[in-house]
């Protein structure tokens, strides 16, 4: 769907749920709140402009691969998307510029990850939704361990998740990654963290201390302000949640009607 307010901007929806927004003339423009938060993390994972080896699980309209290619030229990026028809649609209607260093893989995210070499990525971005839910096989401790294996020692994992109070799903995901990574952050709108509504939350995991002050300033001053939780408050949020094993894994919760509706 074209955006009438921006000449070459497009909104991609899948089964009625908004999935991606891209401006072909301004790839640095991130429209969705969660995408802006992922962008803030990508801006702070390394010194500005440094190319990264990135893996994107979930393709959509390739919003973040375009963003990373524009803000960190020379980056090598793999995009893994199970929906081959979606990749073809995006390639036909919203083609990537030549020389962006992005390789598309029509494959299941976890299967591709399991075949990836050890310590081969600087950044792993997970934004995988089957319709409006994260598939169950991407919500287990075994999946988190695969992510940890593929990332380098200074690598960073980012995931777009969605939940609402009492946050059973979100707490379980944090518990999974706490088993694998030393550092965890959670970025979300204060109203979501207070349990007032269903919404997105960005999970960040790393083996090294993150630049929390810089990320906090960026997210707080954004057009859509968000809060960064880390340290003791985040551990308190996790509470007694336990990691989830494959045999017990379930998809993320179904959003309430209208949670991500578009006008």
CATH of the domain at 221: 3.40.50.150
Q: Is the pLDDT of residue 63 over 80?
A: yes
Predicted confidence (pLDDT) per residue in 96-118, tens digit: 988 899 999 999 999 999 999 99
Domain membership of residue 167 (yes or no) is yes
Confidence of residue 263 (pLDDT cuts 50, 70, 90): very low
Domain membership of residue 158 (yes or no) is yes
Using DSSP, state whether 110 is helix, strand or coil.
helix
Q: Is the pLDDT of residue 261 over 50?
A: no
Q: Alpha carbon 169 to chain centroid distance?
A: 16
The reported pLDDT for the residue numbered 260 is 54
State the residue range of the domain holding 111.
Answer: 33-240
CA distance 226 to 34: 10
Domain membership of residue 12 (yes or no) is no
Strand 183-188 vs strand 199-206: parallel, antiparallel, or unpaired? Answer: antiparallel
* Mean local confidence (pLDDT), 44-50: 95
Domain membership of residue 203 (yes or no) is yes
Domain membership of residue 189 (yes or no) is yes
Domain membership of residue 197 (yes or no) is yes
Place of tokens 């399991």: 114
Residue in 125, 165, 145 with CA at minimum distance from that of residue 253: 165
Q: Is the pLDDT of residue 29 over 70?
A: yes
CA distance 229 to 237: 9
Number of separate domains in the chain: 1
The reported pLDDT for the residue numbered 142 is 98
Predicted confidence (pLDDT) per residue in 137-176, tens digit: 999 999 999 999 999 999 999 999 999 999 999 999 999 9
DSSP 8-state class, residue 165: T
Answer with the residue of higher pLDDT: 258 or 57: 57
Share above pLDDT 90 across residues of the chain, in percent, rounded to a whole number: 89
Confidence of residue 130 (pLDDT cuts 50, 70, 90): confident
Answer with the residue of higher pLDDT: 72 or 256: 72
Contact 142, 249 (CB under 8 A): no
34's tokens = 């969660």
Predicted confidence (pLDDT) per residue in 165-216, tens digit: 999 999 999 999 999 999 999 999 999 999 999 999 999 999 999 999 999 9
Domain membership of residue 256 (yes or no) is no
The reported pLDDT for the residue numbered 259 is 62
Give me the residues paired with residue 157 across strands. 124, 205
| Average pLDDT over all residues of the chain | 94
Domain membership of residue 14 (yes or no) is no
């Amino acid at each position: 769907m074209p955006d009438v307010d921006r000449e070459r901007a497009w909104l991609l929806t899948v089964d009625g749920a908004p999935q991606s927004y891209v401006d072909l003339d301004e790839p640095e423009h991130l429209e969705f709140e969660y995408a802006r938060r992922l962008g803030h993390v990508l801006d702070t994972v390394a010194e500005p402009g440094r190319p990264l080896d990135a893996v994107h699980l979930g393709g959509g309209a390739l919003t973040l691969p375009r963003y990373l290619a524009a803000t960190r030229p020379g980056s090598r990026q793999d995009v893994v998307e199970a929906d081959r028809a979606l990749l073809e649609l995006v390639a036909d209607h919203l083609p990537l510029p030549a020389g962006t260093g992005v390789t598309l893989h029509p494959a299941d995210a976890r299967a591709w990850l399991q075949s990836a070499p050890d310590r081969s990525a600087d950044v792993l971005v997970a934004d995988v939704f089957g319709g409006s839910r994260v598939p169950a096989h991407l919500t287990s401790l075994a999946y988190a361990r695969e992510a940890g294996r593929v990332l380098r020692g200074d690598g960073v994992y980012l995931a777009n998740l969605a939940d609402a109070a009492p946050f059973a799903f979100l707490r379980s995901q944090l518990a999974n990654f706490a088993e694998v990574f030393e550092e965890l952050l959670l970025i979300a709108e204060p109203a979501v963290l207070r349990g007032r509504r269903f919404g997105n939350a960005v999970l960040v995991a790393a083996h090294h201390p993150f630049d929390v002050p810089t990320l906090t300033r960026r997210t707080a001053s954004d057009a859509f302000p968000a809060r960064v939780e880390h340290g003791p408050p985040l551990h308190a949020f996790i509470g007694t949640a336990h990691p989830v094993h494959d045999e017990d894994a379930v998809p993320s919760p179904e959003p309430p009607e209208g949670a991500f509706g578009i006008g």
